[in-house]
Amino acid sequence: MEERIYTIPLNKAKTVPRTKRAKRAIKEIKEFLERHMKGEVKIDSSVNELVWERGIRKIPSKVRIKAVKMEDVIWAYTPEAEIKIAEEKKKKRKEKKVAEEEEVKKPEEGAIAEEEREEEIERTPEDEIKETEEEIEEVTEEEIPEEEIPEQETEEEVKETEEVAEEEEIAEKEEEEAEEKTKEEIEEKAEGDVKEEEEKKEK
């Protein structure tokens, strides 16, 4: 790679008609670089902007240009544009690195997916049934709250409940006996009243 900086005069371009001066200036730059560096010349947009800065008629009297020869191609651009080109190259390199990293990641993801598929293929229907049963057991254990689990009654509580039941039975029997007695008394009174009425009638 060969680098050179030239100050190219554009006095000849000012001798042509005003409406053709900018185009003539670009042609003069190409001819100058071909003559001094010998190769195919490619003009950067920064040089074009510098020549056309004040319009097609008012071109600069001279131009400072940096020429870089790579193999048989000569790249022409302004020295001020060198920084911009370097930054653009860095951006392109970063983009390439990012693209390469993504390409490396994709096959790794594909390999992981293939391993998962192989694991799924290795699974038998029996394994799937076992997994579903284990999941169901876990769900049932989680759903049953601790409060609903019945606590075992102590012996004292059992005795108390039995005593209460016996007392209730005794109370029911006493009520039945009292009702029977009241019925008998009512019947006896009714019979006595009937007899008294019959005696009165006979008299």
Handedness of CA 90, 96, 98, 100 (dihedral sign): negative
Nearest-angstrom CA–CA distance, 21 and 52: 10
Closest CA to 76 of 105, 102, 51: 51
User: Whole-prediction pTM value?
Assistant: 0.42
Q: Where do the structural domains in the chain lie, given as residue ranges?
A: 2-79, 82-144
Taken as a whole, the chain contains a residue count of: 203
Fold of the CATH domain 2-79: Ribosomal Protein L31e; Chain: W; (3.10.440)
The more confident residue out of 13 and 87 is 13
Mean pLDDT, residues 12-33:
92
**What's the pLDDT tens digit per position in 78-126?**
888 765 655 666 677 788 888 888 877 766 666 666 666 666 556 566 6
Tell me how far the alpha carbon of residue 162 is from its chain's centroid.
65
Predicted pLDDT at 63: 92
DSSP string, 107-163: HHHHHHHHHHHHHHHH--HHHHHHHHHHHHHHHHHHHS-STTSPPPPPHHHHHHHHH
Closest CA to 52 of 79, 33, 78, 73: 78
User: pLDDT category, 150, cuts 50, 70, 90?
Assistant: very low
**What's the pLDDT tens digit per position in 26-71?**
999 999 999 998 888 999 889 999 999 999 999 999 999 999 988 8
Lowest mean pLDDT among 81-90, 127-136, 173-182, 194-203: 81-90
